[in-house]
Amino acid sequence: MASLENPPLDPAATLRDAVRAIEATHRRIAVVADAAGMLIGTLTDGDIRRGLLRGLTLEDGVASAMNAAPTTAHAASERSYLLELLVNRGFESLPLVDAQGRYVAVVSRYDLGPAGSAGAPVEARSAIALAVIMAGGEGQRLRPMTETLPKPMVDIGGMPLIERIVRSLIAAGVPQLRIAVNYLHHVIEQHLGDGSALGGRIDYLREKTKLGTAGALSLLTDRPDGPVLVMNGDVVTSFDCNALQRYHAEQEAMVTVAAMEYRVDIPYGVIQSDGACVTGLMEKPSQRFLCNAGIYMLSPEALERIPPDRAFNMTDLIETCLAAGQKVCIFPLHEYWADIGTPKDLADARLALLKLT
């Protein structure tokens, strides 16, 4: 039931090392142990992202975001006990230790499932009920390329950008996709069809007039029975949509906004002042901003706040939820992300993909 696929990290490891360890196995956890094998702590994807929100970087040590008092179980525990512990605590995985507290292995819910094998696969179906891709924009800054081609159909790494997005969502197990279309919609629909050639199911939300970055969601005929992923059709990213869903659920948010970090380095000494008086000096400061990445996870109830038949943006939805006292959270991205707005953005993304593949 347990597995040695999760070798422990050294206490000197970085958060980047922890990300790699988490991504290397379906157990979604990194374990830290000392030279004697004693368990020191654990890290999950959520631990790392919450650390990033506190200003940490992936070059910081694992201790900066680690859970130093994780729930553990004895390696000789019965299968039924381990499964009950995981379910009752809401954990995907937990470390197993021996009587002296030395790390032995990690066990997950999937290890304890019907197959009960250490190599149990990740669940085939995502907990995301529906993904909606906003693909109705004109891409005016990419003209003349977009005079006859909608921006989501621009080639990135040998395939249209929107096909790359669709393939990634289908591979992640998202069961249903909707694509909101307007400008040159027939080009997108003819290329992707109903999605069956890609192994998925695609339907289209056809905007008669431009409805903004959230208004097209009012065209959904049935309320989804789970969280809804919404993303712009001009984004290139390697992010894990299921990690976003799990984070959204952990935070019990109405809306979760994916955010990318943007730093501004000021190449001068900055004077701090109070009127005509100098109060301090900052030598070449760097300012950090979290910027909207155009990717969102919505609880189904959030869709009820979108008015029908008029333009309504995601920023409007977020402000509406905040005004109602509902929880809106940030999901900081550490994965590759690019917005394709200009010819330079497109060239940079094409070059970045060559390096990533």
**pLDDT surpassing 70 at residue 125:** no
In terms of pLDDT, which residue wins out, 113 or 69?
A: 69
What is the rounded average pLDDT of the residues 337-352? 92
* Strongest mean pLDDT among 135-144, 265-274, 315-324: 315-324
- Looking at every residue in the chain, the average pLDDT score rounds to 91
- Confirm if 58 and 15 have CB atoms less than 8 A apart: yes
Selected catalytic residue, list 151, 208, 210, 284: 284
CATH 3.90.550.10 positions along the chain are: 130-356
Q: Which CATH superfamily is domain 130-356 in?
A: Spore Coat Polysaccharide Biosynthesis Protein SpsA; Chain A (3.90.550.10)
- Confirm if 150 and 220 have CB atoms less than 8 A apart: no
* H or E stretch covering 85: helix 79-89
Can you give the pLDDT at residue 161? 95
Q: Does residue 208 carry a catalytic annotation?
A: no
Task: State the sign of the Cα–Cα–Cα–Cα dihedral 115, 119, 124, 125.
Answer: positive
What is the rounded average pLDDT of the residues 147-168? 94
Tens digit of each residue's pLDDT (9 = 90 or more) over 288-313: 899 999 999 999 999 999 999 899 99
Can you give the pLDDT at residue 103? 95
In terms of pLDDT, which residue wins out, 87 or 123?
A: 87
Nearest to 64 by CA among 11, 25, 101, 23: 11
Can you give the pLDDT at residue 110? 79
Tens digit of each residue's pLDDT (9 = 90 or more) over 32-71: 999 999 999 999 999 999 999 999 999 999 999 999 999 9
The pLDDT-based confidence of 119 (bands split at 50, 70, 90) is very low
The pLDDT-based confidence of 123 (bands split at 50, 70, 90) is very low
Residue 333 to residue 306: CA distance in whole angstroms = 26
In terms of pLDDT, which residue wins out, 123 or 222?
A: 222
Can you give the pLDDT at residue 117? 41
CATH of 15-108 among 3.30.365.10, 3.30.70.2190, 3.10.580.10, 3.30.10.20: 3.10.580.10
CATH 3.10.580.10 positions along the chain are: 15-108
* % of the chain residues with pLDDT over 70: 95
Q: Which residues of 1-15 are buried (b: 16+ CB within 10 A; e: fewer)?
A: bbbeebebbeeebbb
The pLDDT-based confidence of 118 (bands split at 50, 70, 90) is very low
What is the rounded average pLDDT of the residues 81-90? 88
- Confirm if 254 and 327 have CB atoms less than 8 A apart: yes
The pLDDT-based confidence of 5 (bands split at 50, 70, 90) is low
